[in-house]
Structure 1
Amino acid sequence: MILNFFDQFLSPTLLGIPLILISLTMPWVLYPKPTARWLSNRALTLQGWFINQFTKQIFMPVNVGGHKWALMLTSLMLFLITLNMLGLLPYTFTPTTQLSLNMALAVPLWLATVIIGMRNQPTHALGHLLPEGTPTLLIPILIIIETISLFIRPLALGVRLTANLTAGHLLIQLIATAAFVLLPLMPTVALLTTVLLFLLTLLEVAVAMIQAYVFVLLLSLYLQENV
């Protein structure tokens, strides 16, 4: 019974073709494309306002050299938030519950920020490995610790996104199963469990949006350190 709860995280296939490829293309199909008209409809206006506000907030503390990443990080934010939200619908699959996908997004982007820092300002980038005023005896230990923390960053990005979404989906399925089992036995308890399930679903919607925002926000902070 416990193993069945984890079946929802298996990548579905049809005729040997992984359907995760189709789910990864869904975000770009759902969003309306801007038009060349003077006036846009309400959906396009709201979409443009959201993108402008998000981009302004993310790149406000970043130097001008890092503004080249605006299109990439904004697209990544829309991509992640759409995948997370679509995964909450019934009979759907959430690609961002796969650690391999999240690491495939986190490692190249983190590595790009490190390479930019080492190329443009190597002294400043390497200076993060040793805080100013460190005692001489602690210098080797702190360099090792800071180097390890630097290489843990992409792992933390991928694991954070995977763990939060996986835990939320598991909790929703556990409470839904409990409500279904308790319905013929204790209808009142089952009703209260259903209310709890509804509130948890709202919380999971917030988590899906927040985790996508945190993923992009941390990348922008890494970029800020190296630009």
Structure 2
Amino acid sequence: MSLGLFDQFMSPSLMGLPLIVPALILPWMLFFPPHSRWLNGRFSTLQGWFISQFARQLLMPLNKGGHKWAVVLTSLMLYLLTMNMLGLLPYTFTPTTQLSFNLGFAVPLWMATMIIGLRDRPTTTLGHLLPEGTPQPLIPMLIIIETISMWIRPLALGVRLTANLTAGHLLIQLVSTAVFTLLTTASLTAVLALVALLLLTTLEVAVAMIQAYVFILLLSLYLQENV
């Protein structure tokens, strides 16, 4: 049975049972919750330092009203980061390559920021639709453009994460296929392709971390406009 390039993005199954649920639960199993009777080891200390530094950097521009989102944004950051990194391992499935999965995070969280803004600061939130000093003939057009731009935000969040991870996975598969194909015909070219594959894998690790951070950073910016 020949496999296509996009078969790696299909939901996996074993003996007819879907494995999407274990794939979604696995990232949380890698983080151990703190316990009062446990001594902090190197991993738990490093984990706590990373979380505190990330939360401080993320919430620094926000006022006190936005600090209530610290647990949600930090947990989502760790979840997306771990899931993206696990997806780079062989014989694994990356749920964040699915647009529906990413939109399931982007749309509700973006909508929550908008509801908070309309509830607490309706004038400021609606004021983003019309920049100050706009000429009167351009007011209707700018309101329409800004409204469309506002509603596209959650779609852009999901598509950005999906497109970057999907493109990286496809490039890795194409280059690895070329390496195996050229091993018997052009060994030197295969070695060069293998070096390119290693560099591409390193780049994809960086992309997996950066895209998780960008997803949360944009959510925090949307929250900053409404709190």
User: What's the TM-score bracket when you normalise by the shorter of the two chains?
Assistant: over 0.9
Residue 71 of structure 1: SS of its match in structure 2? helix
CA distance in 2, matches of 1:8, 1:184: 26
Provide the residue aligned with 1:89 in structure 2.
89
Residue 36 of structure 1 and its aligned partner are, at CA, apart by: 1.1
CA distance in 2, matches of 1:192, 1:35: 49
TM-score (norm 1): 0.97
- Count of residues paired in the alignment: 227
Q: What amino acid is aligned across from residue 162 of structure 1 in structure 2?
A: T
In structure 2, the CA distance between the partners of 1:88 and 1:38, relative to structure 1 (3 Å rule), is closer
* Alignment correspondent of 2:63: 63
1:14-34 per-position Cα deviation (integer Å, ceiling 9, x unaligned): 344321111110111111221
Measured against aligned partners, the alpha-carbon deviations of 1:95-122 in whole angstroms (never above 9, x if no partner) come to 0000000000100000000000000010
Once residues 93 and 104 of structure 2 are traced to their aligned partners in structure 1, the CA distance between those partners, rounded to angstroms, is: 18
Partner in structure 2 of residue 157 of structure 1: 157
Match of 1:194? 194
* Separation (CA, whole Å) in 2 of partners of 1:28 and 1:99: 21
Tell me, in whole angstroms, the C-alpha distance in 2 between the residues paired with 1:43 and 1:49: 10
Match of 2:122 in 1: 122
- 1:190 maps to a residue whose letter is A
In the alignment, residue 133 of structure 2 is paired with which amino acid? G
Q: Against the structure 1 CA distance between its residues 14 and 199, is the aligned structure 2 distance closer, same or farther, given a 3 Å change threshold?
A: same
* Equivalent-residue separation in structure 2 for 1:195 and 1:221 (angstroms): 38
Q: Which moved more, 1:27-36 or 1:106-115?
A: 27-36
1:75-108 CA distances to partner (integer Å, 9 max, x unpaired)? 0000000110000000000000000000001000
**Matched residue, 1:49:** 49
- State the alpha-carbon separation in 2 of the partners of residues 57 and 89 from structure 1: 29
Letter in 2 for 1:102: N
- Report the equivalent of 2:184: 184
Moved over 3 A (4+): none
Q: Does 1:23 align with 2:27?
A: no
For 1:131 and 1:138, the matched residues in 2 are separated by: 11
What's the counterpart of residue 140 of structure 1? Answer: 140
> Which whole-Å CA distance do the structure 2 matches of 1:144 and 1:209 have between them?
35
Cα deviation, residue 2, structure 1: 9.8
Q: Percent identity?
A: 70
Q: Residue deviations 1:171-212, cap 9 Å, x none? A: 000000001000100101100100000000000000000000
How much is the aligned-residue C-alpha RMSD, in angstroms?
Answer: 1.4
Measure, in 1, the Cα distance between the counterparts of 2:42 and 2:140.
58
Q: Does 1:10 align with 2:22?
A: no
